[in-house]
């Protein structure tokens, strides 16, 4: 070809469904070129409309420079929301490497009569890819996703957003119950390429993802007048303020009206066994965080009456309660506790933080604490970080004030159980993090976990604990700026056989510590900048890019 000539080539086309690799409706244009040809694709049009989201592959290898060349198969994956039975024309143009010759590719296809765009009443969608990496099949796993959408594209996120599962082989769709929460909006007086009004919200739904695989879900929006989704739910929430009662298919939980702490947990599933404490102090089942700096009294979050701050999020997929504030008598502290309860999920997620705002000398600083009436449980099982599993009759260990069993602070799970009543209550450690805001190392003092029994049974994770040491008169200074974070889960267990219960807890531990990897893929709006827009910096610099 001579300078300026155009090579016109017909391409073959497929209409394809959203996949984990390309989580959007798309067209596949493919062709072979002469060996001597090499072009950079500059423009893609579908039915006369310019498309900015397209991806180039040569012999199945992604080409970030958008080059097609001879000597193999060239594919152009084009994001296009095709509908069943529609006629589609594609035009692809490129420029030779030497910029002398042009390339023109074109093709036409009639879309199949199945598997097209889910519902034209919803104009936009974001692809959500859920990837499983821990070799554990996920069924009904809660997935929380943050969406940031152009504000003029949607009206009411709670009414409008729909989560749709798509079969990548057949295009068959299924609406998945979801819940929208935590809405906010960024507004700007002079919208432009750098600043654009944005609506932000969180969405939660249940995902099914086979082990070592991925699945795509689509978050549709852009329907100004949708019906209100009437999802059914097994999660029931009653009561007001702190003293809520929460029930799903697996358990019934009652929260303290005074502190908002978990007061009792009833295992359902045909067992109807209630775990509680109700013997001393506030009588709660869940106590932490807790602190003891004598001569001040030993206090826990369960002693709040009430906490300084409280809020909740209620819905059909999940309900969350949040409490925070200083502990009474301890103005140096700021603590927070969050409970999360789901429909169709057998566990209760608990996260807490302890922030030290002023130096304090303590004898005890504890987390991960549960207290039970000893009449309810006789045995105790645990899994150590190295994988070894042990169990014991609780009263075979030393009695209070001695510790019945000492375990590593990061033991993956423990379980209290009553073999006669076939019930158990497990605790899974999900994440522990200690850090110091002003730099340096966070302070703990010989952290560990331990089992203790008297009229009650309790388990706790000390961060600092000289109270039961050989030298109990010592106090440890915790400098201001130390923050301690913990995430764990309570799991009511139907305890029939040891191995089955242990495997069940191990699977939940593996799931919680290896959550699904989530990525969100959106379309490129025409108002988005077409070229790299550098950030606003104190001094300009040249961004270094690979050739």
63 to each of 11, 60, 67, 74, 530, how far by Cα in Å?
Answer: 18, 9, 6, 10, 19
pLDDT of residue 543: 61
Ordered DSSP codes for 217-278: EEEEE--SSPPPP----S-EEE-STT--EEE-SSEEEEE-TTT--EEEEEETTTT-EEEE--
Contact criterion met (CB below 8 Å) for 132 and 209: yes
What predicted TM-score, i.e. pTM, was given to this entire model? 0.94
pLDDT of residue 188: 86
66 to each of 69, 89, 94, 543, how far by Cα in Å?
Answer: 10, 21, 9, 21
Domains (ranges, CATH) in the chain? Answer: 6-110 (2.60.40), 124-231 (2.60.40), 236-517 (2.70.98.10)
* Ranges in the chain, pLDDT < 70: 1-7, 540-547
pLDDT of residue 371: 97
């Amino acid at each position: 070809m001579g300078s300026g000539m155009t090579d016109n080539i017909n391409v073959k086309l497929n209409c394809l469904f959203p996949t984990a690799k390309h989580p959007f409706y798309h067209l596949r244009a493919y062709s072979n070129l002469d060996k001597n040809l090499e072009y950079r694709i500059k423009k893609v049009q579908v039915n006369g409309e310019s498309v900015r989201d397209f991806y180039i592959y040569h012999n199945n290898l992604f080409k970030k420079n958008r080059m097609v060349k001879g000597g193999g198969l060239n594919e152009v994956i084009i994001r296009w929301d095709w509908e069943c039975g529609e006629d589609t024309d594609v035009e692809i143009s490129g420029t030779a490497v030497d910029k002398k010759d042009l390339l023109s590719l074109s093709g036409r296809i009639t879309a199949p009569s199945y598997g097209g765009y889910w519902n034209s009443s919803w104009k936009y969608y974001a692809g959500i890819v859920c990837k499983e990496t821990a070799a554990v099949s996920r069924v009904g796993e809660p997935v929380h996703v943050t969406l940031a959408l152009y504000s003029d594209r949607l009206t009411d996120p709670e009414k409008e957003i729909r989560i749709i599962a798509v079969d990548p082989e057949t295009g068959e769709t299924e609406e998945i119950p979801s819940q929208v929460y935590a809405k906010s909006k960024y507004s700007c007086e002079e919208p432009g390429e750098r600043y654009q009004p944005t609506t932000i919200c969180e969405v939660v739904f249940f995902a099914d993802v086979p082990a070592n695989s991925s699945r795509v879900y689509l978050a549709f929006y852009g329907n100004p007048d949708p019906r209100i989704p009437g999802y059914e739910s097994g999660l029931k929430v009653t009561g007001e303020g702190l003293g809520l009662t929460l029930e799903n298919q697996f358990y019934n939980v009652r929260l303290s009206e005074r502190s908002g702490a978990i007061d009792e947990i009833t295992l359902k599933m045909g067992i109807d066994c209630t775990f509680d404490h109700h013997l001393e102090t506030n009588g709660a089942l869940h106590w932490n965080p807790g602190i003891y700096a004598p001569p001040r009294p030993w206090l826990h979050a369960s002693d709040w009456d009430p906490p300084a701050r409280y809020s909740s999020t209620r819905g059909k997929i999940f309900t969350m309660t949040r409490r925070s504030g200083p502990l009474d008598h301890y103005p140096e502290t700021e603590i927070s506790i969050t409970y999360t309860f789901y429909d169709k999920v057998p566990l209760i997620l608990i996260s807490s933080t302890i922030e030290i705002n002023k130096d304090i000398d303590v004898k005890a600083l504890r987390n991960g604490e549960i207290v039970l009436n000893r009449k309810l449980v006789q045995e105790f099982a645990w899994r150590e970080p190295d994988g070894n599993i042990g169990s014991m009759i609780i009263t075979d260990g030393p009695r209070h004030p001695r510790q019945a069993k000492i375990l590593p602070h990061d033991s993956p799970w423990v379980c209290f159980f009553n073999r006669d009543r076939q019930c158990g209550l497990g605790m899974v450690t999900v994440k522990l993090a200690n850090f110091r805001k002003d730099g340096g190392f966070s302070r703990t003092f010989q952290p560990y976990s331990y089992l203790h029994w008297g009229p009650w049974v309790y388990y706790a994770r000390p961060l600092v604990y000289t109270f039961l040491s050989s030298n109990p008169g010592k106090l440890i200074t915790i400098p201001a700026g130390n923050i301690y974070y913990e995430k764990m889960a309570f799991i009511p267990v139907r305890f029939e056989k040891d191995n089955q219960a242990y495997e069940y807890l191990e699977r939940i531990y593996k799931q919680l510590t290896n959550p699904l990897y989530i990525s969100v893929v959106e379309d490129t709006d025409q108002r988005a900048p077409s070229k790299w827009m550098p950030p606003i910096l104190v001094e300009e610099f040249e961004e270094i890019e690979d050739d």
